[in-house]
A and B are shown apart, each in its own frame.
Chain A
């Protein structure tokens, strides 16, 4: 690195090597080691400006601003999709379907059983009326 480029570098980016472009940092540090006196003068000038820049206060975010910004996320349409409840919703759906199926099965079983019971009762009635005189089957069975 030339003396001219080193001066241009610290004039632009300051005395802190961490702020220098990565592509030139090693060369600039090598120049500092090779030409310490020349480098020192340029660095002192730049360091004084760095100190001024550091003196500028860093603005602080007020709690009110922070709250307004967080609230604005909802206003912008960002709403949680409740990922934590998704599994619960699915579980409720599955259980609900299960209960519905069970209810249907119960109704079907009831109808079948009622049919059997009715048939048994009718058979008993037919046997009973057969033992009686003068009563037609149709009167019993309807």
Chain B
């Protein structure tokens, strides 16, 4: 099996040796990415912080026994974070009642232009209402900037299936936010 080149290999090795500078570098490099992933998958700031913290804790435990060449550390960390997110999403569904969604789409404000923050919040809310797999595909490809092959492997689907999820997700967003497209373009 061909060895996989990993830009994090040296950093992971030094983290595994307990090098304080490497630990700080790893936090600077990975924590914002894992927080963003969790935030967009869960749509909740506090839960996203918990997930990102737990994912990084698992990274610390994994680093001393990490075997280079088998997988990219970043991909592994995405897998860990996604699993933690899906655990929470599953728990939410199990306790879901008739309560209304956390952040209902209030629609546009016709009497005033939307501020950039309003646009951002509405996009975030629309993302949160997408089916989980469509949201995951968009978050991995668009926000986390993984390649289609990496994202498909993480999601355990073919590239064709990934493209279908992406297209359907983007179409749903376009329809949900049709009233504010000009605002977003100007934001």
A59 to B143 alpha-carbon distance, docked (Å): 11
Chain B residues with CB under 8 Å of A8's CB are 163, 167
Check: B113 CB closer than 8 A to any chain A CB.
no
Residue A13 contacts which of B124, B141, B187 (CB distance < 8 angstroms)?
B141
Check: A119 CB closer than 8 A to any chain B CB.
no
Give the size range of A's interface with the partner: 35 or more
Chain B residues with CB under 8 Å of A88's CB are none
Check: A102 CB closer than 8 A to any chain B CB.
no
A84 to B39 alpha-carbon distance, docked (Å): 39
Chain B residues with CB under 8 Å of A48's CB are 174, 181, 184-185
Chain B residues with CB under 8 Å of A66's CB are 27, 31
Check: B20 CB closer than 8 A to any chain A CB.
yes
Q: Which residue of A lies closest to B174 (CB)?
A: A49
Chain B residues with CB under 8 Å of A45's CB are 174
Chain A residues with CB under 8 Å of B143's CB are 53, 56
B27 A70 Cβ-Cβ under 8 A? yes
| B interface, over-half SS | helix
Beyond A69-B52, A73-B23, A77-B64, 15 additional contacts (C-beta under 8 Å) are A12-B167, A12-B170, A21-B149, A46-B170, A48-B174, A52-B119, A52-B126, A52-B184, A59-B35, A61-B35, A65-B49, A65-B53, A72-B56, A77-B60, A80-B19
Contacts A/B (CB < 8 Å), 29 sampled: A11-B167, A19-B142, A19-B145, A21-B147, A49-B170, A51-B184, A52-B126, A52-B184, A53-B143, A56-B143, A57-B117, A57-B120, A59-B36, A61-B32, A61-B35, A65-B35, A65-B52, A65-B53, A68-B53, A70-B24, A70-B27, A72-B53, A72-B60, A73-B15, A73-B23, A73-B60, A76-B57, A80-B18, A81-B18
